[in-house]
Amino acid sequence: MATPILMRRRRALMALTALTCLLLAVMVQGRIERGRLAASIHPLLYLPSGKHLKVMALGFDGILADVLYLWSIQYYGNYDIKDRYTNLERIYDQVITELDPHYLDPYLVGALIMTTEARNPEMALKLLDKGVQANPDQWIMPFEAGFLCYNDLHDFRRAAVYFEKALSIPGVTATAAEPHRLTLAVDLSIASVEPAPTSAQRVDARQQAALGPTGFVSPSATP
């Protein structure tokens, strides 16, 4: 059993590590806001890969991943940075999710930014595929990949594969899967003779799927 002194030392080390991570994020943000140091080099290239940061984190990979994830939301929400999507895939695929492959939010939010902001759904699907492989027990990963194929790529047959995968994972709820299976079946049956459902219909289907009897549950909180 750990002594009070040892526990205090552990807490101090964790606090010091968290502060170091925060300072790293601030330094990166400062370089970005000061502009490029060289015309041909993007500032984010100075951020080490997740594999190197994992060594620097000294076992606190999750804390560093969390700090960088929060920073990324602020960075990609800053519309004054015109070229902010240049290293989008690197930040989420090679840095944050490499630090903590089981941290679900960077996959989901990263894919959302790639799809809605950067207009690159194939990049988003690649990130979600990585999340599916790293978290085979989390139905939300193939579920979101399926919806991306369904809603953005209009690749209904590929979407069906992801939805079926989500259905096979223990813990998936009927409210999460059934509306998409039904609307997907309708799309597959009428796609050759009638236009696909409108965006409003797809949004409505997703809202029904994401809401359980008690309202929206954050993906990180799913069992």
The position carrying tokens 């609307």 is: 183
pTM of the model: 0.65
Percent pLDDT > 70 in the chain is 52
Mean pLDDT of the region 195-219: 48
pLDDT in tens, 29-67: 555 555 544 444 455 545 767 676 776 767 778 888 888
The radius of gyration computed from the CA coordinates of the chain, to the nearest angstrom, equals 20
The residues pairing with 2 across neighbouring beta strands, listed in sequence order, are: none
Between 216 and 102, whose confidence is greater?
102
pLDDT in tens, 113-149: 999 999 999 999 999 999 999 999 999 999 999 889 9
CA–CA distance, 19 with 6 (Å, rounded to integer): 20
